[in-house]
Amino acid sequence: MYKNSEKFSAMTCVKVGRLLLKRFAKSNVFHCCSFFSIIGAAIVLACDNDLLTPTEYIRLNEADFVFSVLLFFEVFIELLSKGIAKYCADSLNILDFLIIVLHVFCFIAEPSLGYDIFNPTN
C-alpha cells in the first residue's frame, strides 16, 4: 500500500511540475526574457570586432556566455513543457536548439584548441 501511494505522489509531482512549466512557458515574463536574451545576444555579436581591448573582449565574451546560458534555459524549459514531439514540430525551436548545440560545442572546443574565451593571450 505504501509503495503505490509513493508512486502516485511522485507521478502527481511530475504532472504538477509540468503544468507549472507549461504555465510559465506561456507567460509574458518568459516571452519577455526570451526576447531580451535574443536581443542581447545580437548586440554582443554586433559589438565583436578586432579593435577591442583585451578587457573589453573579456567582458564581451562573458556577456555572450550569459546570454547563451539564458537561451539554454529557455530551450530547456520549452522542451520540458511541450515535450519532444511538440517542441520539434516548430522549426524555430529546432533553430534555437541548433544554436545552443553550436554554442556548447564552441565553449568546449575553444579551450581544447588553446584559446580561452575569458582570458585571451593577445
Q: To 5 degrees, how large is the angle CA 6–CA 8–CA 13?
A: 95
pTM summary value: 0.76
Q: How many Å apart are CA 71 and CA 37, to the nearest integer?
A: 7
The CATH number of residue 23's host domain is 1.20.120
Q: Does residue 93 sit within a domain? A: yes
The per-residue pLDDT for 73 is 92
What are the cell numbers at 97? 536548439
Domain that holds residue 99: 2-112
For 50-101, how does the pLDDT look when each residue is reduced to its tens digit (9 = 90+)?
788 878 888 888 888 898 899 999 999 999 888 889 999 999 889 989 988 9
Instruction: Answer whether residue 37 shows pLDDT above 80.
Output: yes
Q: Is residue 122 part of a domain?
A: no
Q: Which pLDDT belongs to residue 83? A: 86
Could you give the number of structural domains in the chain? 1
What per-residue confidence (pLDDT) applies to 19? Answer: 87
Dist CA 93 CA 56 (whole Å): 32
Instruction: Specify if 120 maps to a domain.
Output: no
